[in-house]
Amino acid sequence: MTYNMKFFIDTASLAQIREAHELGVLDGVTTNPSLMAKEGISGEQRVQQHYIDICNTVDGDVSAEVISTDFTGIVTEGERLAALHPNIVVKVPMIKEGVKAIKYFTGKGIKTNCTLVFGAGQALLAAKAGATYVSPFIGRLDDISQDGVQLIAQIRRIYDNYGMSTQILAASIRHPLHIVQCAELGADVATCPLSAITALFNHPLTDSGLEKFLADHKKAQAATEKVK
Q: How many CB atoms lie within 10 A of CB 146?
A: 13
Alpha-carbon 143 to chain mean position: 19
103 classed as catalytic: no
Instruction: Enumerate binding residues for ligand G3P (CB under 6 A).
Output: 10, 30, 32, 137, 139-140, 171-172, 191
The residue (of 17 and 226) whose beta carbon lies closer to ligand G3P is: 17
Q: Which of 38, 91, 96, 100 is labelled catalytic?
A: 91
- Inter-CA distances, 134 with 17, 151, 219, 227, Å: 22, 12, 54, 65
- Inter-CA distances, 29 with 22, 60, 95, 131, 214, Å: 14, 7, 23, 17, 37
Q: What are phi and psi of 73, to 5 degrees?
A: -65, -45
Alpha-carbon 50 to chain mean position: 18
The residue (of 3 and 19) whose beta carbon lies closer to ligand G3P is: 19
- Shortest distance in whole angstroms from residue 30 CB to ligand G3P: 5
Q: Given its phi and psi angles, is residue 148 left (phi above 0), alpha (psi -120 to 50 degrees) or beta?
A: alpha
Task: Just list the catalytic residues.
Answer: 91
